[in-house]
Chains A and B, each alone.
Chain A
Amino acid sequence: MITTVIGNYPKIPNRPRPAKLRNAITRFDSGEITLKDLKGVEDEVTLEVIEEQIDAGVELITDGMIRWEDGQTYLARGIQGFSINGLIRYFDTNTYYRQPVVEGDLEWVGPITARDYEFAQKGSKSPVKAVLTGPYTLALLSKDEHYRDRKRLVMALAKSLSKEAKALEERGVPWIQIDEPALLLNKEDFPLVLEAIGEITQDLQVKSALFLYYDDIEGLYPQILQLPVDLIGLDFVMGEKNFEILRKAPFTKSLGFGIIDARNTKRETVEEIVEKIGKIREIVPLDRIHVSPNCGLEFLPREVAYEKLVLMVKGVNKAKEVYHA
């Protein structure tokens, strides 16, 4: 059993710590600093949040996705054929993203996140995983003015992302995580997701994970075990029913066990965490479990996110003691 996170980490802390990135972006927008200066601050903040995750005791971390304005545009800006449109709401959250618009044939023209991975891994004594928004979710959250066909768009994105995954693998990334929360909005599209994820992972040697959050997987189990990935991550906060659903068939992969609520400040207790681990232990052996928040931590203030990670690690350590894992 190890501890991990899902993806993003709050970009700025609260007073008295300075909001370095926010200030730098404001100054960049008004022309006071150069793009190079801004990139420097992004690097500095990335190292800071790596340090915070390690300090909290998390074993498999991310770079905090500090450079990502949101889960979609950071990738879309790097793939040829996209333009970026106005703000729209991200799922049922009170956060917004600029909608990518597909205007032409999509083409991967070079690594988008690979340099970020290299930078993060160099600055971290713990393994860093790479996180990509999956082709299906990217497709659903974009506006398609070119393919006008969901399947063609998803597969075009899968091709681009498979090259990105390859570029990450070449740089030695230990885990590639693909996030597909949008599948839970349209479960009937599972066959398409299966094909698209296959396109990305077929030539990969590196460990791969697929995360599904903001809901349970009712109706998708045990089919999702067909996904060609090593680990499937699920949301046990907004999808508490997953506990029940997984009992229907043996869970044959590693499980991303998302039990810390990354969308509410209410702190979990060590006891609650231990209890949940006890519950999952009856379904999946603990040596195949990655304990994590249910989604990215950026919905929380930075200090609360950190505190929740500390509690998560405490809970997991306690559970290891209790269950002799």
Chain B
Amino acid sequence: MLETTTIGSFPKPDYIKKARGQFARGEISREALKELEKKATEEVIRTQEKLGLDILVDGEIYRGDMTTYFAELMEGLEISGLVRSYGNRYYRKPVVSGPVKRRGPMTVDWFLYAQGLTKKPVKGMFTGPYTMTDWSFNEHYPTRRDLVLDFAHQLHEEALDLEKAGAQYIQIDEPAISTRPDEIDLAIEGLQIVTEGLRAKTITHICYGDFEKVYPRILDLPVDQIALEMSNSGYDLLRLIEKHPFTKELGLGALDVHSHVIETKEKVKEGIKQALEVIPPERIVVNPDCGLKTRTPEEAIEKLKVMVEAVGEVRAELN
């Protein structure tokens, strides 16, 4: 009960940022960059083991961004240029200029590499069809639905490949789901296609939105676990859950990933206890609100340390 995990991304060490810049300028080869990414991935695995997290991630060191990475590997997509998402953060926003098609597995090699480094389970993960659509410019498909469904069929193949490679957990990130409440049906339809027939435990992660407008409808998402941002909004979401029971496993976001401030153990415990009032411990997994890539490596470790300790104490109190 109360297993601990993270949402996916870890901060890129300085040598990776530097190497990515060098690669972009043609100063180092793709192979040289990949060697460094492997080194950093191994460090992320060791960090998670040392922290005592239960379910690990590969850290997404090899991804520039959660949509761009896939856009660069798929047919039918190009990169339009840098677009600002907030503050001083920009991403290279994809453009869909033709039919979207997977050229081959996109995350399986990294999953296998990361899983090969540890005995603990590593999650297989990729960005979902609704978010891929919402975070790209669409210059090709007549409707958003056409694009979501095409992405969904392609990503279903990725899920099957991850399962074949041994992934026990498959996480499909859909941070954009809470963007347009009127499109929740479309998001559900897309995930239905992606998760069709999977035996692995399925998870989706959603963040930054007006959950009031999509709750309890999100409980119809065809996955076993939904990981939600919660601490950033003062656990307001729990009040909705009070009114309408959360029927799935909850990935409880307990660390604000956009703040430099390290949470206190008491604060994290308090959040977990609030959640325990509405969901039994067997159905709660504790994780940060979102990926940790925007924090410094030190902040990420400090925050996770507090989270793991807080969970340990709550577990002890429950026993």
Interface residues of A, Cβ cutoff 8 Å to B: 10-12, 14-15, 19, 22, 25-26, 29, 69-70, 86-89, 92-98, 264-266, 298-304
> CB of B197 within 8 A of chain A?
no
> CB of B258 within 8 A of chain A?
yes
Minimum CB–CB distance for A66 against chain B, Å:
11
Q: Is the CB of A87 within 8 A of B258?
A: yes
A86 is contacted by which of B137, B178, B256 (Cβ under 8 Å)?
A: B256
Given contacts A86-B258, A265-B139, are A92 and B82 in contact (CB under 8 A)? no
Q: Is the CB of B208 within 8 A of A304?
A: no
Interface residues of B, Cβ cutoff 8 Å to A: 24, 80-88, 90, 93, 95, 134-135, 137-139, 176, 178-180, 208-210, 232-233, 256, 258-259
Given contacts A70-B86, A94-B176, are A301 and B138 in contact (CB under 8 A)? no
Minimum CB–CB distance for B212 against chain A, Å:
13
Q: Is the CB of B85 within 8 A of A96?
A: yes
Complex Cα–Cα for A261 and B45 (A): 44
Besides A10-B84, A86-B256, 7 other A-B contacts (C-beta < 8 A): A29-B88, A87-B258, A89-B209, A95-B86, A298-B84, A301-B83, A301-B93
Minimum CB–CB distance for B4 against chain A, Å:
23
Q: Is the CB of B85 within 8 A of A94?
A: yes
A-B contact pairs, 30 of them (CB 8 A): A12-B90, A14-B81, A15-B24, A19-B90, A25-B88, A69-B86, A70-B86, A86-B256, A88-B208, A89-B209, A92-B179, A93-B179, A94-B176, A94-B179, A95-B84, A96-B85, A96-B86, A96-B208, A97-B86, A264-B137, A264-B139, A298-B83, A298-B84, A300-B80, A301-B80, A301-B83, A301-B93, A302-B81, A302-B82, A304-B81
Complex Cα–Cα for A302 and B80 (A): 10
Minimum CB–CB distance for B182 against chain A, Å:
9
B81 is contacted by which of A11, A22, A301 (Cβ under 8 Å)?
A: A301
Minimum CB–CB distance for A260 against chain B, Å:
14
Q: Chain A contacts of B84 at CB under 8 A?
A: 10-12, 95, 298
Complex Cα–Cα for A70 and B86 (A): 8
Complex Cα–Cα for A93 and B53 (A): 34
Minimum CB–CB distance for B294 against chain A, Å:
10
Q: Is the CB of B85 within 8 A of A95?
A: yes
B179 is contacted by which of A12, A86, A89, A98 (Cβ under 8 Å)?
A: A89
Complex Cα–Cα for A140 and B209 (A): 15
Minimum CB–CB distance for A182 against chain B, Å:
13
Q: Is the CB of A265 within 8 A of B256?
A: no
Q: Chain B contacts of A14 at CB under 8 A?
A: 81-82
Minimum CB–CB distance for B183 against chain A, Å:
9
Residue of B at shortest CB range from A22? Answer: B88
Given contacts A264-B138, A301-B80, are A89 and B88 in contact (CB under 8 A)? no
Q: Chain A contacts of B208 at CB under 8 A?
A: 87-89, 96
Complex Cα–Cα for A57 and B180 (A): 36
Complex Cα–Cα for A231 and B161 (A): 57
Residue of B at shortest CB range from A24? Answer: B88
Q: Give the dominant DSSP class at B's interface.
A: mixed
Complex Cα–Cα for A97 and B88 (A): 11
Minimum CB–CB distance for B130 against chain A, Å:
12
Q: Is the CB of A304 within 8 A of B179?
A: no
Minimum CB–CB distance for B161 against chain A, Å:
27
Q: Chain B contacts of A300 at CB under 8 A?
A: 80, 83
B180 is contacted by which of A70, A92, A97, A298 (Cβ under 8 Å)?
A: A92
Complex Cα–Cα for A12 and B84 (A): 9
Complex Cα–Cα for A87 and B84 (A): 14
Q: Chain A contacts of B82 at CB under 8 A?
A: 12, 14, 19, 301-302
Residue of B at shortest CB range from A300? Answer: B83
Complex Cα–Cα for A249 and B241 (A): 47
Q: Chain A contacts of B81 at CB under 8 A?
A: 14, 301-304
Complex Cα–Cα for A164 and B227 (A): 43
Complex Cα–Cα for A242 and B59 (A): 47
Q: Is the CB of B135 within 8 A of A94?
A: yes
The 8 closest A-B pairs by CB, nearest first: A301-B81, A96-B86, A265-B137, A266-B139, A25-B88, A14-B81, A92-B180, A89-B208
Q: Is the CB of A265 within 8 A of B95?
A: yes
Given contacts A22-B90, A300-B83, A303-B81, are A94 and B134 in contact (CB under 8 A)? yes
Complex Cα–Cα for A103 and B14 (A): 39
Residue of B at shortest CB range from A19? Answer: B82
Q: Chain B contacts of A22 at CB under 8 A?
A: 88, 90
Q: Chain B contacts of A69 at CB under 8 A?
A: 86-87
Q: Chain A contacts of B138 at CB under 8 A?
A: 264, 266
Q: Chain A contacts of B88 at CB under 8 A?
A: 22, 25-26, 29
Q: Is the CB of B209 within 8 A of A265?
A: no
Given contacts A95-B84, A96-B86, A97-B86, are A86 and B232 in contact (CB under 8 A)? yes
Q: Chain B contacts of A86 at CB under 8 A?
A: 232-233, 256, 258-259
Minimum CB–CB distance for A70 against chain B, Å:
7
Residue of B at shortest CB range from A28? Answer: B88
Residue of A at shortest CB range from B176? Answer: A94
Most A CB atoms within 10 A — which of B81, B176, B209, B232? B81
Residue of B at shortest CB range from A70? Answer: B86
Q: Chain A contacts of B209 at CB under 8 A?
A: 89
Minimum CB–CB distance for A119 against chain B, Å:
22
Complex Cα–Cα for A265 and B93 (A): 10
Minimum CB–CB distance for B189 against chain A, Å:
18
